[in-house]
Structure 1
Amino acid sequence: MAKHAILSASGASRWLACPPSARLEEQFENTSSEFAREGTLAHELGELGLKINLELISTRKYNSEVKKIQANELYTADMPDYVDIYVDTCMEKVAEAKAKTPDALFKIEQRLDFSEWVPEGFGTGDFVIIADGTMEICDLKYGKGVPVSAIGNKQMRLYALGAIAEFSFLYDIEKVKMTIIQPRLDSISTDEMSVAELIGWAEEVLRPTAELAFKGEGEFCAGDHCGFCRAKAVCKARAEKNLELVKYEFSDPNVLDNAEISDILGKADELAKWAKDVQEYALEQALQGEEYPGWKVVEGRSNRKWADEDKVGEILLGQGFLESIIYTKKLDGITKIESAIGKKEVTRLLGDYIIKPSGKPTLAPESDKREVYNSPEADFK
């Protein structure tokens, strides 16, 4: 079984903001989701794509390994299209690096040890490039649920520190670039800083905070970083922060004013997420025998369904009912068809028939990059 770092690079934004959470999480099982396994599969395909482009494996070996990936139940026909964006981006950077430095260094799935600053800290860099005094770390994010930016990204900084520790004695590295490629969200972002700036941050911020986190010390601090914490459902600091809304002091006992509504809107999403996390955790524990005063597990609502659809269809057709009446034929959605035949093929064959209607209006903070919504009614005023 692969060893997992207590202070992982992927969890850095969390334990840097909330140091004691690293040890608190140890009390909870570290399970892998289907999304994580899908991401791992995409990374394997990306690794093969880089190796064949850099002529590190034979075509025969490449084809053999790709077939194994294609046999995985999580593989979809559009996965190569998205992974190709990552591979192509990396190979463009390879060409640029070679133009400047013919003997540029390229490392794929490189183990990176940053334990000089983080106790027992290590991780894996998807793709590392060193050329002309500049080192670049490229990271594939296959998920599409949460946008991830390279700007100020703590995980990428830890990878960069690990690469500096590994290669600085061989190469004179002055500048660091950190690039995140998230193809399913059509996003590529890069952060850049000098090695001196990065080391300064590591010494002043990272090292002291990591020492606290490793010992399970420091202050609990709830925030956006709680989302992937294994203790998020039972963490008291998160509960206290969300329950502040319940204690809200209103200026008018009868109605909310606009300022109060704005304040509540800013807290409502996190409050809903927290409540859902608690409910899901409580159900999971109750199914394993835990008891919660005043609550019990019951059977939820369900809808009637045919026990044997083929037999039902046979009976109805036998009674003279038309097939067009008892069966529904509907074209699958764009995403499902892309998964079935591939994104590039959908674009080639059906690109002219794809439209993107206006989205349903929703409230968002003023910092949101989207333009203010104008209703059709407002256009006629």
Structure 2
Amino acid sequence: MTDTVEDVRKGLPSASAFGRLALCPGSFTMEKSCPDESSEAAAEGTLLHRYMEYLLLKDDAAEEGMEFSWHDFLNSREYESAELNHEQVELCGRALRLLDDVKEKIMGRNYSDSLFSLVSTEERRFLSDWIEGGEYSGQWDALFRVGVDLLVLDWKFGRVAVDSAEANRQLEALVPLAAQKANEEGIIYNGIYAAIIQPRVAGPASVTFYDDEAISQAEQDSLAVARAAMDPDAPRYCSEEACRYCRAKAVCHEAASMVEQASLIATDRDKWELFSPAEKVQAYRLAKMAKKWAAAVDYRFEQDVAAGLIPGFEMAPGRTSFTVTDPSGAFSALNAEFPDEVTAEAFAGCCKVGITELDRLVHAARKAADPKATTKASREWLRQLLAEYGESKTTKGSVKEVEGGAA
């Protein structure tokens, strides 16, 4: 979830950017002069993070016998009212199922929910090294007690896979912050699990474990990244990975130079098939970098056009979409107008059933009948029951770099 850098992060490096800052420490200072960027993807990410926080807090409140609604949550956080569509609700449902899998992976297939307790959600903390220098902040999406250990969790709702938990710089920076909170509040723990859940990316969640030695090393490494980033003369190193989420790439000389390289790829061979694997990889990476740079320039240009700063250009109006959020009410209204045409069967043919909502409804019913019923078992039971009434789809795969490939 994003907020104003000055107010929340106090102008310091944030764990969420450590993957980039480790590759390009100079991007931290350069980004400070760039305006915050907004996009539909960023707005959706914020909404989904809020909804996941609500779901966790709702489950936590239910254990205490308390009612907790989505609108109560929004009001308590002073957020604007927002609704999720079926696809987004199902995406969050997948995220919860992946969390269940993480729990099973940590505690075994017969884990007990009583061994997991929510410590906090969306909490930002700061860590400083007053001797060597360096300071940063980080905000986990959720922190749990897991038996005699802790679990720090990060949701990722993008479509591009991020680094695994073992190699993820953001998680590495969050672990010392979780240890700091536990030490300050007297929470006893043997170690800290760290997990990344990416519901839009195929495969299970990525989980790793930090013992005392690894926690100490994570603190040293993270403070080193912060020190390097805060150096006003820190160098900039351009790459597709480093520039992917950098707000400064549209005005970065190093990024422009790499885009120029992409436009100058030329050999005495004029067929793609004659390029070596290494040359194809180089072209692929440069092309991805060029796309990111072009998107950043487009964004800045559109902002100037919208502000009336570019003569000869204006923003065309956007398209308006409409979504039915109350299907029961919509059917009643239409059926009253056209009782013979808009029947229940005809209306149902225009609808999509949110499988995640059914998962939760069915699991609640099964658990009421059998307190030992697990979420995973309920999900599998429902899929078998509805097999003849639905279909499963697999999305198109994406390019993924693996070890041993062309350099």
TM-score calculated relative to the size of structure 1: 0.68
Q: Is 1:60–2:97 an aligned residue pair?
A: no
> What is the SS of the residue equivalent to 2:36?
coil
How many angstroms does 1:160 deviate by? 0.8
Mapped to 1, the partners of 2:74 and 2:177 lie a distance apart of 33
> What is the SS of the residue equivalent to 2:206?
strand
* Equivalent residues, number: 328
Q: Is 1:42–2:51 an aligned residue pair?
A: yes
Q: Which of the residues 126, 133, 152 maps onto 1:137?
A: 152
Q: Where do 1:42-121 residues align within 5 Å?
A: 42-52=51-61, 55=63, 57-61=64-68, 65=72, 72-77=81-86, 78-79=89-90, 81-82=93-94, 84-85=96-97, 88-89=100-101, 106-109=118-121, 111=123, 113-117=125-129, 118-121=134-137
Give the aligned residue type for 2:152: I
Give the aligned residue type for 1:248: I
Q: Is 1:354–2:388 an aligned residue pair?
A: no
How many angstroms does 1:215 deviate by? 3.9
CA contact (8 A) 2:173 2:222 kept: no
Q: Which of the residues 296, 305, 315 maps onto 1:277?
A: 296
Mapped to 2, the partners of 1:273 and 1:178 lie a distance apart of 29
Q: Is 1:193–2:197 an aligned residue pair?
A: no
Given the superposition, is the C-alpha separation of residues 17 and 46 from structure 1 closer, same or farther in structure 2, using an over 3 Å criterion? farther
CA contact (8 A) 2:140 2:152 kept: no
* Aligned-CA RMSD value: 4.4
How many angstroms does 1:35 deviate by? 1.4
Partner residue of 1:4?
8
Mapped to 1, the partners of 2:182 and 2:166 lie a distance apart of 23
Q: Which of the residues 17, 20, 27 maps onto 2:23?
A: 17
Given the superposition, is the C-alpha separation of residues 59 and 296 from structure 1 closer, same or farther in structure 2, using an over 3 Å criterion? same
CA contact (8 A) 2:26 2:233 kept: yes
Partner residue of 2:284?
265
Unaligned runs of 5+ residues in structure 1 are 304-322, 324-328, 370-381
Partner residue of 2:139?
123
CA contact (8 A) 1:15 1:22 kept: yes
Partner residue of 2:326?
none
Given the superposition, is the C-alpha separation of residues 351 and 23 from structure 1 closer, same or farther in structure 2, using an over 3 Å criterion? farther
Give the aligned residue type for 1:65: D
Partner residue of 2:172?
157
Q: Is 1:147–2:161 an aligned residue pair?
A: yes
Given the superposition, is the C-alpha separation of residues 179 and 365 from structure 1 closer, same or farther in structure 2, using an over 3 Å criterion? closer
| Range 191-200 or range 336-345, more displaced | 336-345
Partner residue of 2:372?
none
Mapped to 2, the partners of 1:120 and 1:85 lie a distance apart of 32
Given the superposition, is the C-alpha separation of residues 266 and 343 from structure 1 closer, same or farther in structure 2, using an over 3 Å criterion? farther
Mapped to 2, the partners of 1:195 and 1:37 lie a distance apart of 33
Q: Which of the residues 231, 244, 254 maps onto 1:227?
A: 244
CA contact (8 A) 1:46 1:86 kept: no
Partner residue of 1:29?
35
Over the matched positions of the two proteins, sequence identity in percent amounts to 16
How many angstroms does 1:254 deviate by? 5.3
> What is the SS of the residue equivalent to 2:31?
helix
Partner residue of 2:375?
none
> What is the SS of the residue equivalent to 2:197?
strand
How many angstroms does 1:89 deviate by? 4.9
How many angstroms does 1:75 deviate by? 1.9
TM-score calculated relative to the size of structure 2: 0.64
CA contact (8 A) 2:128 2:135 kept: yes
Mapped to 2, the partners of 1:136 and 1:152 lie a distance apart of 17
Give the aligned residue type for 2:97: I
Given the superposition, is the C-alpha separation of residues 37 and 135 from structure 1 closer, same or farther in structure 2, using an over 3 Å criterion? closer
Mapped to 2, the partners of 1:246 and 1:206 lie a distance apart of 36
